[in-house]
Chains A and B, each alone.
Chain A
């Protein structure tokens, strides 16, 4: 079984400032890790994922996340946020041989001008 912890329910930040959304997981097996973003009244959109290989993964809109096995973390970062990044972000984990995703409780990123 897996579990995901997102300690911050909301992260307020000013525009153009850096941000980090924290995600920790626990699992007894090897895992794949994901960040999804939930746009208002829309479904979950995949932002980025770690399956294997380089522990640093990047999205097309400037977000990055680093898989840290020793700290069981997959924190999401962006060096300079925009107002349009205001959304709910969900970290998720899946066992490498399984299919169901286990989600964290989500973090609302609130970018202020």
Chain B
């Protein structure tokens, strides 16, 4: 069964450094998402992406964040200058259509020191 994959599984970085989290969505999916879950809290929506542009973003997704689909398979989330409060599990998801089921990857645990 096709699945969403994410790398790395765990990323440790120093405050102020840039990180790029990578995702490979399911191959025939057209809609891509990033969510995050701070330890012990709910899963929160960050951004949705379709047709090479952001379709919706939350208030969390400020100028420090960006997303990109650099080729036909990868979908990346970049945090330009990480803060301590960016420490969280980041989940990528994809869906075939706007109202179709979103399938989640296993997540990348980001630890900012």
Looking at chain B's contact residues, is the secondary structure mostly helix, strand, loop, or mixed?
strand
Check B48–A99 contact: CB distance below 8 A.
yes
Q: How many A-B residue pairs have CB under 8 A?
A: 55
Complex partner residue of A105 from B42, B56, B107, CB under 8 angstroms: B42
Q: How far is the CA of A78 from the CA of B20 in the complex (A)?
A: 40
Q: How far is the CA of A99 from the CA of B56 in the complex (A)?
A: 9
Interface residue count for A (Cβ, 8 Å)?
A: 25
Count of chain B residues near A, Cβ 8 A: 25
Q: Which residues of A contact B (CB under 8 A)?
A: 32, 34, 36, 41-46, 49, 51, 90, 92, 94, 96-106
Q: Can you list 30 A-B pairs, Cβ within 8 angstroms, ordered by A? A: A32-B99, A34-B101, A42-B106, A43-B4, A43-B6, A43-B104, A44-B91, A44-B104, A45-B104, A46-B101, A46-B103, A90-B42, A90-B43, A94-B99, A96-B99, A97-B99, A98-B56, A99-B31, A99-B48, A99-B56, A99-B98, A100-B45, A100-B48, A100-B56, A101-B33, A101-B45, A103-B42, A103-B44, A105-B41, A105-B42
